Structure 1
Amino acid sequence: MPTVAMLDDLPKGAWIALMVIGFILFWPVGLGILFYLIWSGKMQAWKREHGYGCSSAKFRRHGSTGNSAFDAYRDETLKRMEEEQKAFGEFLERLRRAKDQAEFDQFMAERRAQDNATSV
């Protein structure tokens, strides 16, 4: 009977084969193996080993397609989009502040009306 430590030492191909066989024989077993691989972080380790884990920001800044005209266009477009995103965020912040101010002014007006009604 294999121990848990022996199962952890299985090569990557064996884990994939176990998962496929588990799905073929009884799908909950395959699903359980898949969840274990994700939960244990084994899938992330495979990503890092093979270089699949590069972020889009890293690619954007350092990756070159080999076509300098396209790279310049891409960089310019990304810069413009980042500026638009920043401007839109500032616009949303101004809207939130205006809405908060209007709600506060309405609250104060209602409170003053209640105070005037009780003091009369």
Structure 2
Amino acid sequence: MKQVTILALVAAAFAALALSAPASAQAGIKQLAKQECRADRAEDPGEFASRWGGSGGKAIKRCARDERREARRDCREDRREEPREFATEYGGVGGKAIKRCMRDELR
């Protein structure tokens, strides 16, 4: 009985960790973009509101989407211009390497 209880507690702990972790790498990238946009909003609220059409959640989403697009564009350009250096730095030239690059761009 004691072992069953311990196993149940361990399983519950792993389930909690799995639920708290981002669902994918893309979720982490979105979060980084939102953090950057929130920092931009805090730095200059007037400019942020004029550029993104407000200061609420929808403006943050528009800003974050644009930040992700810009990071993806920059990473693809880097990969196209210097494929060997890109592969060395990000561990390949595929989609996961692009996501690693995007995380670096957004930080």
Higher relative contact order (CA 8 A, sep 6+): 2
Structure with larger Rg: 1
Shorter-normalised TM-score: what interval? 0.3 to 0.5
With the length of structure 1 as denominator, give the TM-score of the two structures.
0.35
With the length of structure 2 as denominator, give the TM-score of the two structures.
0.39
